[in-house]
């Protein structure tokens, strides 16, 4: 028995809801959330995604309503991901540079409807390549770093010109943050921020996302030649350090829950805004557990999101953003 007992009883701080709330060390707020939205061609379209129950692709005419929904709940930012039509996917990803592509039209639609909400755009080529890789490839199927960086830089400029507030290179090419930052500065987009996917792992949790953007089954080989080895954490710190030195404003760790140790180490080491992506496989597992009766859905959502905050995350990209914001407000 403790020498301090019964004078010190830790349970005193847990006896009532108001007491627990008063001394809580971490809190969730809708402003901690970024809502990823998938976009498709057409008009009046809502396309449910089979491996992501409750998540759909939306045509551009629906985006204003979705953005207003998020803003009214206090969610500050939306992340956009396109499902590019098959006929526009090429080995050189030229559609990524089209100023009238899905992503550019979506940015403009959201900014016209809800100008106060932030828009984050993905800078990567996998939604546009016929082979499913994040960059252009050589004859052997290897992703060519420097040629890809040139295309990514143009892609980021196209998105900034369309009205993106944050460009988020998710490709894991070396040197791309510096190239994008310089291009944004030279192009008069000094206020466009860069959220670098600085520690993006070659994870098994991305499957539903690939279905959502139409790249599932296209990939020739794998992405382990440029995405990180799940075994490594010191390498993640080096990646973050380099991206910050090249001009990243914020950094991201992806996936989320399996890499909370990386989130904590990054935040402790650098003290910069650090985001995590609760990826599609994580979302799908929570939904499957709730559907199987293995746990209360709302409690599972809020507990996992709180874990990100406890680990030191500034914010979380999550498909549960709308549900979470409603529960937080209730």
> Which tens digits make up the pLDDT trace of 293-318?
999 999 999 999 999 999 999 999 99
Crossing angle (nearest 10°) for helices 63-72 and 102-113? 50
| pTM of the entire predicted model | 0.96
Taking a C-beta distance cutoff of 8 angstroms, is the pair 313, 276 a contact?
yes
Structure tokens at 180: 């994008």
The class (CATH top level) of 27-329 is alpha beta
Q: Is the pLDDT of residue 109 over 70?
A: yes
The answer to whether 120 touches 174, Cβ cutoff 8 Å, is no
Please choose, from the candidates 35, 136, 124, the residue with its C-alpha nearest in 3D space to the C-alpha of residue 76.
35
- Could you give the residue numbers annotated as active site? 200, 254
What does the pLDDT look like over 4-19, one tens digit per residue? 888 899 999 999 999 9
- pLDDT at site 325: 98
Cα within 13 Å of Cα(184), Cβ side? 28
- pLDDT tens, 135-144? 999 999 899 9
Q: How confident is the model at residue 220 (pLDDT cuts 50, 70, 90)?
A: confident
Domain ranges, ordered by start, for the chain: 27-329
Encoded tokens for 64: 């204003």
């Amino acid at each position: 028995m403790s020498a301090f007992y019964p004078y010190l009883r830790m349970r005193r701080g847990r006896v009532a809801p108001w007491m627990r709330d008063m001394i809580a060390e971490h809190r969730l707020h809708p402003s901690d959330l970024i809502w990823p939205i998938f976009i498709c061609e057409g008009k009046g379209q809502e396309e449910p995604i089979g491996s992501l129950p409750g998540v759909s692709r939306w045509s551009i005419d629906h985006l204003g309503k979705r953005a207003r929904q998020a803003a009214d709940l206090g969610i500050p930012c939306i992340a956009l991901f396109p499902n590019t039509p098959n006929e526009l996917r090429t080995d050189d990803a030229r559609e990524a540079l089209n100023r009238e592509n899905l992503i550019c039209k979506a940015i403009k639609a959201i900014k016209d409807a809800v100008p106060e909400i932030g828009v984050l755009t993905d800078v990567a080529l996998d939604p546009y390549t016929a082979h499913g890789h994040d960059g252009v490839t050589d004859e052997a199927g290897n992703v060519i770093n420097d040629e890809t960086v040139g295309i990514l830089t143009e892609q980021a400029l196209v998105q900034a010109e369309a009205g993106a507030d944050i460009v988020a290179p998710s490709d894991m090419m070396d040197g791309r943050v510096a190239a994008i930052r310089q291009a944004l500065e030279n192009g008069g987009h000094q206020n466009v921020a860069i959220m670098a996917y600085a520690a993006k792992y070659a994870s098994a949790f991305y499957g539903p996302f690939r279905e959502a953007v139409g790249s599932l089954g296209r990939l020739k080989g794998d992405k382990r030649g440029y995405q990180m080895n799940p075994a490594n954490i010191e390498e993640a710190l080096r990646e973050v350090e380099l991206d910050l030195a090249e001009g990243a404003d914020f950094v991201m760790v992806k996936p989320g829950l399996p890499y909370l140790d990386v989130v904590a180490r990054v935040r402790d080491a650098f003290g910069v805004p650090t985001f995590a992506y609760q990826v599609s496989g994580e979302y799908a597992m929570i939904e499957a557990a709730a559907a199987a009766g293995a746990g209360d859905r709302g409690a599972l959502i809020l507990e996992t999101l709180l874990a990100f905050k406890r680990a030191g995350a500034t914010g979380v990209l999550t498909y549960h953003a709308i549900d979470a914001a409603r529960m937080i407000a209730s």
